[in-house]
Amino acid sequence: MNGYTVYKTQVNPKSVSLNDRIIRVGWDNGEQSDYHFLWLRDNCHCDECVTSLSKEQVFEICDVPFDIKPLSVELSKDNMINIIWDYKSHKSSYHPAWLKQHCYSQEAREKRNLKYKIWDKKLIEKSLPLYEYQDVMNKDEILLSWLYDLRDYGISKIVNVKNKLNEVQKVAQRISFIRETNFGIVFDVISKKSANSAAYTNLKLPLHTDLPTRELQPGLQFLHCLVNDASGGESILVDGFKIAEYMREKHKDEYKALSTLPMSFYNKDKNSDYRFVSPMIISNDKDEIVEIRMANFLRGPIDIDGKDMESFYNAYRLFILLTRDEKFQFYHRLNQGDLIVFDNRRILHARNSFDLKEGERHLQGCYVDKDELLSKIRILEREII
Q: Name the band, by pLDDT with cuts 50, 70 and 90, for residue 201.
A: low
Residues 348-368 have a mean pLDDT of: 84
Average pLDDT of the chain to the nearest whole number: 93
Q: In what order do the strands lie in the sheet with 361-368?
A: 130-132, 155-159, 339-343, 220-228, 361-368, 187-189
**Distances, alpha carbon 29 to alpha carbons 57, 82, 192, in Å:** 32, 21, 64
Examine the pLDDT at 352 and tell me if it is beyond 90. Answer: no
Q: Name the band, by pLDDT with cuts 50, 70 and 90, for residue 195.
A: very low
**pLDDT at res. 293:** 98
Examine the pLDDT at 357 and tell me if it is beyond 70. Answer: no
> Is 304 in contact with 313 (CB distance < 8 Å)?
no
**pLDDT at res. 356:** 65
Examine the pLDDT at 342 and tell me if it is beyond 90. Answer: yes
CATH ID of 121-384, from 3.40.50.1000, 3.60.130.10, 2.40.70.10, 3.30.70.890 = 3.60.130.10
pLDDT digits (tens, 9 = 90+) for 229-242: 877 778 999 999 99
pLDDT digits (tens, 9 = 90+) for 119-153: 999 999 999 999 999 999 999 999 999 999 999 99
Examine the pLDDT at 382 and tell me if it is beyond 50. Answer: yes
**pLDDT at res. 10:** 83
**pLDDT at res. 199:** 55
Q: Name the band, by pLDDT with cuts 50, 70 and 90, for residue 193.
A: very low
Domain 13-112 class, CATH top level:
alpha beta
Residues 264-288 have a mean pLDDT of: 93
Residues 18-22 have a mean pLDDT of: 93
Q: Name the band, by pLDDT with cuts 50, 70 and 90, for residue 81.
A: very high
Q: Name the band, by pLDDT with cuts 50, 70 and 90, for residue 194.
A: low
> Is 200 in contact with 189 (CB distance < 8 Å)?
yes
Lowest mean pLDDT among 91-105, 183-197, 203-217, 264-278: 183-197
Examine the pLDDT at 171 and tell me if it is beyond 70. Answer: yes
The DSSP secondary-structure symbol of 180 reads: P
Examine the pLDDT at 310 and tell me if it is beyond 60. Answer: yes
Examine the pLDDT at 203 and tell me if it is beyond 70. Answer: no
Residues 190-207 have a mean pLDDT of: 63
**Distances, alpha carbon 128 to alpha carbons 122, 139, 195, 291, 342, in Å:** 10, 20, 32, 21, 11
Task: List all residues 6 or more positions away from 186 whose beta carbon is below 8 Å from its beta carbon.
Answer: 166, 168, 169, 178, 364, 365, 366
- What residues does each domain of the chain span? 13-112, 121-384
Residues facing residue 318 across a β-bridge: none
Query: How far apart, in whole angstroms, are the C-alpha atoms of residue 19 and residue 265?
Result: 55
Q: Name the band, by pLDDT with cuts 50, 70 and 90, for residue 196.
A: very low
**pLDDT at res. 202:** 60
Examine the pLDDT at 192 and tell me if it is beyond 70. Answer: no
| Coil vs helix vs strand at 64 | coil
First to last CA, the chain: 18
> Is 92 in contact with 44 (CB distance < 8 Å)?
yes
**pLDDT at res. 25:** 97
